Amino acid sequence: MGQFSGYTVEAMDVDPEPNLGGKDEAKEKPILVILVGAPGSGKSTFCDHVMRLATRPWVRICQDAIGNGKAGTKNQCLTAAASALKDGKSVFIDRCNLSREQRADFVKRVGPEVEKHAVALDLPAKLCISRSVKRTGHEGNLQGGKAAAVVNRMLQKKELPKLNEGYARITVCQDKKDVQAAINMYTALGPLDKLPPGFFGQKNSDSKVQQGIMKFLKKKDPPECSDAVVYIASENIQSHATKEKDSNQVLESCEEQKKTSVGSSISLENAPTLAFPSISTADFHFNLEKASDIIVEKVEEYVNKLGNARLVLVDLSQNSKILSLVRAKAAEKNIDSKKFFTFAGNITNLYSDGGLHCNAIANVTNWRLKPGGGGVNAAIFNAAGPALETATKAKAKSISSGKAIVVPLPSSSPLFSREGVTHVIHVLGPNMNPQRPNCLNNDYVNGCKILRDAYSSLFDGFASIVRTQEELCKYSFEKITEGEVQLDQGSRNGGQKAKRETVCEADMNKKYKSFVKELGPNVGSSGDGSTGGQITKAWGAWAQALYDTAMHPERHKNIIEMSDDVVVLNDLYPKAQKHLLVLARVESLDRLEDVHKEHVTLLKTMHSVGLKWAEKFLSENSSLTFRLGYHSVPSMRQLHLHVISQDFDSNHLKNKKHWNSFNSPFFRDSVDVIDEVSQNGKAVLKDENVLSMELRCHRCQSAHPNIPRLKAHISSCQASFPAFLLQNGRIVFSEGKDANS
């Protein structure tokens, strides 16, 4: 049994537990990674991907935003880096750093207690220029036409980093595949892991140096270095006394690369981890023997389902009886002690005090999901700060016994920044304490059933987090910039069509900037019906907003409901009094054309969520009516269902395309889509030609010359809806109301 900082890791069999950061064992060595690359090379995106998924705590320092969200100075970056490294965090320096001089101060300011790396994103100039020109909302405002000249000028002074600058490791990425491999490598790097030293990448390096190294390698049977060849810079080779010494170092580096499996699977010590207290045994007075039986039963059921993920039972005292009981019973069941173990310590300080990094922690909450009440619930809400209460309210108002609710923890929470906790899972078990609500009065038949359900819900919630993280790890860096290299293709084609698309995209970029200004850089709106040209899979930068909202809802301010399957938000440019979007949280489901039979359950879930919100609005205003549906060809990526009231009373409804996108065959009712996909495996889609149809009232079908005249008419039109809309539940209205009125 190893002790550290007042915490104890207790094994459940004779095998020792994996070292979790004890002071007498391996100690984490922070890493300073200096990113090198032109504007548009993807430095910020690189940091974002690693920081969202890595078990090692990282801090990104960006000169464009270091001054309270505004551009700052290099000295501010140096000071911030020193402070973060002193706190034991690893640091990304997100600056261009294209010259040796620009990098030198960062290397000189840190001592041997910090490992120094460089990652050079040496991507083609054309790609960097394309991205820089097309992006919007950039932190340093380097975008649009001026970006091309700046990138060209900066690349003329490019000096790739060299080992003699003081780096332990340099990784050069020359294409998107290299970048993704580097992202995977640093994501997989746990708190105690090290990367092999040396110079990696740069396929176009000096051929003589490369040949010399390969000659050295042939002196011994070379190890298999998966998908990587190690190159050492020429000056590094010449500094060694003998070629044999160089050869041995290269071989050792390759062996280390093979052992650590960098960029592939994550070791168990760095796997996704859930820390949970025993449910209902403290404040809720549940019998310890019965509780420990259920814990072990449920852990045994789930431990293999979770793959490499780990479960950790936590209690404050190393003399805890529940820990002792569970440990003994788990040993009897031969449960893998690397995938499930017990830990004595405060669940809110597991990493900072105990070295145990947990992606998720469980909170034994009350039915109101409120702070306070003492015990674990009060401790977690206090440690997480107001951000947790706000995020919890956005998810649910209450919880029933035996259920769990997963809440993504905002990055502003101290638990996120200090402990690396990305999710809190609220769970409510049975109550045997007569001083608390809904006491079961020792009814252990019902109590044991509820407790089993509570652990099942908790572990299912954690499984959903693990699945999401796995999907994000697989998410290709290439998709973020899909189609961006086609920047000058339109100009080469020329013609009126290219001109129309440019105007259209400029309009959408303007709209996207307004999102950034109002709600921050990650918030989007549907924007459907705003474009005139055929939309392809080469989504522009503005069209990514909904995708980012669905995949990373924790970054956004305008989410009103979230689950594992969907995200709900108000359309920022509503076309009626009430206009919601229900977004599918599934990769590669960009639009209705991508939907097939296997997505029927998801479609039904989206419809059910949309219907629930329509009914909520109807309870507040019974005069409203609603339609739920999809656009045949959306202008923004990520499948989304529109829930829209039929008053169309909105200043954002401005033109014929806006109107016809909701009042022509282009708008496919949700109920019809579900029927068609269920029966035929796909939905019937209409092309965008219908958007140019004449303006007609959606009730009486009378024609009108322009939007103002149409709006004046529909504000007073009392005609019944067309017969086809009154069938199959296409129109949603309050009970007791005549849909024709």
Which residues are catalytically annotated? 640
Cα separation of 458 and 662, whole Å? 41
CA 201 – CA 181 distance, rounded (Å): 11
Q: Find residue 642's DSSP bridge partners.
A: 581, 629
Q: How far apart are CA 142 and CA 159, in angstroms?
A: 21
Residue 480 to residue 533: CA distance in whole angstroms? 22
Distances (CA, A) of 279 to 255, 286, 290, 329, 363: 45, 8, 12, 17, 9
Q: For 321, phi and psi rounded to 5 degrees?
A: -70, -35
Count CB atoms within 10 A of the CB of residue 126: 12
Supply the DSSP symbol for 482: T
Q: How far is CA 40 from CA 37, 136, 171, 326, 348, in A?
A: 8, 12, 18, 53, 39
Q: Enter the tokens of residue 659.
A: 């109107």
Q: How many CA atoms lie within 13 A of 448 on its CB side?
A: 11
- Quick one: tokens of 225? 């270095």
Question: What is the SS3 string spanning 395-422?
Answer: HCCCCCCCEEEEEECCCCCHHHHHHCCC
Angle at CA 375, nearest 5°, toward 371 and 381?
Answer: 30
Copy the structure tokens of residue 323.
Answer: 């820990």
Phi/psi for 355 (5° steps) reads 75, 10
Q: Assign residue 373 a region: left if phi > 0, alpha if psi is -120 to 50, beta otherwise? A: left
Q: What's 728's DSSP letter? A: T
Rounded distance between C-alpha atoms, residue 550 and residue 553, angstroms = 6
- Chain centroid to Cα 373, Å, comes to 32
Cα–Cα nearest to 513, from 493, 489, 541 = 541
| CB within 8 Å of 383: residues ≥ 6 apart | 348, 349, 414, 415
